[in-house]
């Protein structure tokens, strides 16, 4: 238990060291991974904890990206207001869509989430005045790091470019979001969500208002997806309609399954592995989707718990063997 | 006191429950028996709000609770178990019962307290009384069938119900398991002063613990009374007991 509690801070410190130890390219990759990790973890609140498979999670990611982008670029609002707004709008959208979605179950639920996401995409695609339409909205400004940059410039080891300051900011904000999400899933509320996943009918009969809890989970997931989107728009230096497109929804779902929806950090591992694999394999072959497909098939059949589940099982087996050897030795 | 009056449920022209009335006085133990397809489970589902009756009503201590949602009925003190075992399979035994406590005491909306320590003592005490304390840390799906039935009873009891409805609490159990389970249920019902209503196949069980027995046949009540009255009833002998004795 103690050892497990150390993992989070350890990864956090390691992430902060990336710009110092790696190249600019690795900082860029790490930034990408970290934002997607938050996005995937927010989806896992639905898929892994509540048992609701959403095919339209990109809607809230896209909404968050546009909200932060529009507020910062067109209204020159500071990041401290524009970023939380992404969460608020993500949550508001999820509340409206979720109200209808949680009235359906299983495949119908999934289809409706997809339908709503496509509506969001269509609006982003067509509403030229607000979203820039098909062309998207390039040149989203970085947050203003004014005094930090001035101070940093005078200290030898702390002078970074704006992109790196934004990276540090991302690490801190995502860590904070993941901490909150972790608190949520290990709270009584989180436990109620798992009872719904395990057996919604029985959950009703221990007094759980299943729809209301599902909606609450949906709104929370939307809020954190919105926050991830807000960061991604800035990181990407532009917001485009495909942020809300169904391919983004499937990508984040694949990350969640690949990493393992049974554990809290599984989706983050999925984000890391998928982005690194993509990066590596694309440089060897143009058939990246083929490789990904094979990896997924092997994983889904061999290790239904995803990477995190497989690693957990292997560690468990090693421990048991070690303990068994001890017992025999004694 | 649970009052059921003239409940009717029709599925596509098939009369599953055709005007059933029964009373379960506070603190009494009552059984509902009848051949397969007599409408026992449908009747349970009507009483617990799982299905909405086409006609008739259900009153709990004088209050009309006909067709209200299960989660609301729970709050009013009605617990139930299911014929097919119905637990949270991938949670531990402890987590199963603890979840019921959390939900019932209205702590489910709490998002910031670590869940582990809440209602620890209550949960362990309840597991002790249903004989599952030693298995608290096990994943519920790995319990034996009898163990899962016991756990289901625990889930129902965590809601501190005044009325407990058990749908075939000993289904699929061996003779020994059945006797133990029934003794447990009877003891818990007496200790807690529960109004207990259950369905059961095993006639020995039914006649040994019930104060009142209601016999259903093709969706209708054909007899209603004390075990002795029911045993002597001609109609019951003909359609039901006669098949076995």
Instruction: Tell me the ipTM for this assembly.
Output: 0.82
Report the residue from B89, B99, B113 with minimal CB separation from A192: B99
Burial class (CB in 10 A: 0-12, 13-18, 19+), A11: middle
Chain B residues in contact with A207 (beta carbon < 8 A): 71, 74-75, 100, 103-104, 159
**Contact (CB<8Å) B71/A187:** no
Q: Indicate left, alpha or beta for B138 from its phi (over 0: left) and psi (-120 to 50: alpha).
A: beta
- Tell me the average pLDDT of chain B: 88
| Strand positions, DSSP E, chain A | 137-138, 238-239
* Of A224 and B46, more confident: A224
Which residues does chain B have within 8 Å of residue A210's beta carbon, measured at their own beta carbons? 71
Lowest mean pLDDT among A221-225, A304-308, B83-87, B236-240: B236-240
Question: Number of Cβ pairs closer than 8 Å across A and B?
Answer: 96
pTM (whole model) above 0.90: no
Q: Does A242 touch chain B (CB under 8 A)?
A: no
A286 phi-psi bin (left φ>0, alpha ψ -120 to 50, beta other):
alpha
Among B86, B115, B155, select the one facing A190 at the smallest CB separation: B115
pLDDT of B240 higher than 70 = no
Nearest to B112 among A183, A204, A205 (CB): A183
Helix (H) or strand (E) holding A191: helix A188-198
Q: Report yes or no: B115 at the A interface, CB cutoff 8 Å.
A: yes
Which residue do the tokens 């983004």 mark?
A: A248
Residues 6+ apart with CB under 8 A from A319: none
Encode burial over A144-166: b for 16+ CB neighbours within 10 A, e otherwise: ebeeeeeebeeeeeeebeeebbb
Which among A188, A203, A213 has the least Cβ separation from residue B115? A188
**Residues of chain A found within 8 Å of residue B155, distances taken between Cβ atoms:** 202, 205-206
Find the domain containing B184 and state its range: 2-244
Residue B87 to residue A202, Cβ atoms within 8 A? yes
Decide: helix, strand or coil at residue B164. Answer: strand
**Which residues in chain B have Cβ-Cβ distances shorter than 8 Å to A208?**
71, 103, 108
Q: In this structure, are residues A140 and A3 in contact, taking their beta carbons and an 8 Å threshold?
A: no
- pLDDT for the residue numbered A322: 73
Which pLDDT tens digit goes with each residue over A78-132? 999 999 999 999 999 999 999 999 999 889 999 999 999 999 999 999 898 888 8
B 175-234 near A (Cβ less than 8 A): none
Q: Which of residues 188-207 of A touch B (CB under 8 A)?
A: 188-192, 194-195, 198-199, 201-207
At A5, give phi and psi (nearest 5°).
-65, -20
pLDDT at A328: 55
The verdict on a CB contact (< 8 Å) between A187 and B88 is no
**Which residues of B are less than 8 Å from A188 in CB distance?**
102, 107-111, 113, 115, 118
Q: Cβ separation of A188 and B79 shorter than 8 Å?
A: no
The whole-number average pLDDT for the span B171-181 is: 84
User: How distant is the alpha carbon of residue A273 from its chain centre?
Assistant: 13
Nearest CA in chain B to A220: B111
The 10s digit of each residue's pLDDT in B132-160 is 999 999 999 999 888 898 899 899 999 88
| Model confidence at B65: pLDDT above 50 | yes
Can you point out the beta strands (E) in A76-186? 137-138
- Mean pLDDT of the B166-172 span: 86
In this prediction, residues B204-209 reach a mean pLDDT of 85
Q: Which CATH number goes with the domain that contains B90?
A: 3.40.50.300
**Residue stretches of chain A with pLDDT short of 70:** 1-4, 156-158, 323-330
Q: CB B111 to CB A210 under 8 A?
A: no
Shortest CA distance from A195: residue in chain B: B88
CA distances from B211 to A236, B25, B163, B179, B182 (A): 73, 10, 15, 18, 14
Looking at residue B241, its pLDDT comes to 56
Q: Which of A183, A201, A206 is the closest to B100 by Cβ?
A: A206
What pLDDT is recorded for position B245? Answer: 45
Picking from A191, A210, A213, the nearest residue to B115 by CB comes out as A191
The residue among A189, A207, A217 with the most chain B CBs within 10 A of its CB, best to mutate, is: A207
- CB neighbours of residue B89 within 10 Å: 16
Residue B92: DSSP 8-state: B
- Residue B10 near chain A (CB below 8 Å): no
8 Å CB contact between A220 and A50:
no
Minimal Cβ distance to A206: which of B109, B111, B159: B159
Domain count, chain B: 1
Q: Nearest CB to B71: which of A186, A187, A209?
A: A209
Residues of chain A contacting B88 with CB distance shorter than 8 Å:
194-195, 198-199, 202-203
């Amino acid at each position: 238990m103690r050892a497990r509690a150390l993992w989070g801070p350890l990864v956090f410190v390691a992430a902060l060291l990336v710009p110092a130890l790696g190249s600019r390219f690795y900082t860029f990759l790490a930034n990408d991974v970290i934002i997607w990790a938050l996005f995937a973890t927010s989806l896992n609140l639905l898929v892994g904890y509540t048992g609701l498979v959403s095919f339209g999670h990109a809607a809230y990611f896209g909404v968050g990206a546009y909200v932060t982008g529009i507020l910062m670029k067109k209204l020159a609002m500071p990041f401290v207001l524009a970023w939380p707004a992404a969460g608020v709008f993500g949550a508001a959208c999820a509340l409206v869509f979720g109200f209808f979605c949680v009235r359906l179950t299983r495949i119908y639920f999934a289809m409706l989430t997809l339908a709503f996401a496509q509506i969001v995409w269509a609006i982003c695609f067509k509403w030229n005045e607000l979203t820039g339409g098909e062309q998207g909205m390039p040149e989203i400004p970085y947050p203003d790091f004014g005094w930090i940059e001035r101070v940093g410039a005078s200290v030898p080891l702390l002078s970074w470019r704006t992109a790196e300051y934004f990276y540090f900011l991302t690490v801190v904000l995502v860590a904070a979001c993941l901490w909150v999400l972790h608190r949520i899933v290990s709270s009584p509320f989180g436990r109620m969500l798992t009872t719904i996943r395990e057996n919604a009918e029985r959950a009703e009969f221990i007094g759980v208002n299943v729809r209301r809890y599902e909606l609450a989970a949906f709104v929370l997931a939307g809020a954190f997806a919105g926050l991830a989107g807000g960061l991604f728009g800035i990181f990407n230096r532009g917001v485009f309609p495909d942020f809300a497109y169904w391919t983004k929804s499937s990508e984040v779902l694949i990350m969640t399954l690949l990493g393992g929806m049974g554990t809290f950090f599984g989706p983050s591992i999925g984000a890391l592995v998928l982005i690194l694999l993509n990066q590596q394999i694309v440089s060897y072959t143009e058939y990246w989707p083929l490789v990904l497909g094979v990896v997924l098939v092997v994983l889904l059949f061999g290790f239904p718990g995803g990477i995190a589940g497989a690693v957990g099982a292997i560690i468990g087996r090693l421990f048991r063997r070690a303990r068994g050897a001890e017992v025999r030795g004694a | 006191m649970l009052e059921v009056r003239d409940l009717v449920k029709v599925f596509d022209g098939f009369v599953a429950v055709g005007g059933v009335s029964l009373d379960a006085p506070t603190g009494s133990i009552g059984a509902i028996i009848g051949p397969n397809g007599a409408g026992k489970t449908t009747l349970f589902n009507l009483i617990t709000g799982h299905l909405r009756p086409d006609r008739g009503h259900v009153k709990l201590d004088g209050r009309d609770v006909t067709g209200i949602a299960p989660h609301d009925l729970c709050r009013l003190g009605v617990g139930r178990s299911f014929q097919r075992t119905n637990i949270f399979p991938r949670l531990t035994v402890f987590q199963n019962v603890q979840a019921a406590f959390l939900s019932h005491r209205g702590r489910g909306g709490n998002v910031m307290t670590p869940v582990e320590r809440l209602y620890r003592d209550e949960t362990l005490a309840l597991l002790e009384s249903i004989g599952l304390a030693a298995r608290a840390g096990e994943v519920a799906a790995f319990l034996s069938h009898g163990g899962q039935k016991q756990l289901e009873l625990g889930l129902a009891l965590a809601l501190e119900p005044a009325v407990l409805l058990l749908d075939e609490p000993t289904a699929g159990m061996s003779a020994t398991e059945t006797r133990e389970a029934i003794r447990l249920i009877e003891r818990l019902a007496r200790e807690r002063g529960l109004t207990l209503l259950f369905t059961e196949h095993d006639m020995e069980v039914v006649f040994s613990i019930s104060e009142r027995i209601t016999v259903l046949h093709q969706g209708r009540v054909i007899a209603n009374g004390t075990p002795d009255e029911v045993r002597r009833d001609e109609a019951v002998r003909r359609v039901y007991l006669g098949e076995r004795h």
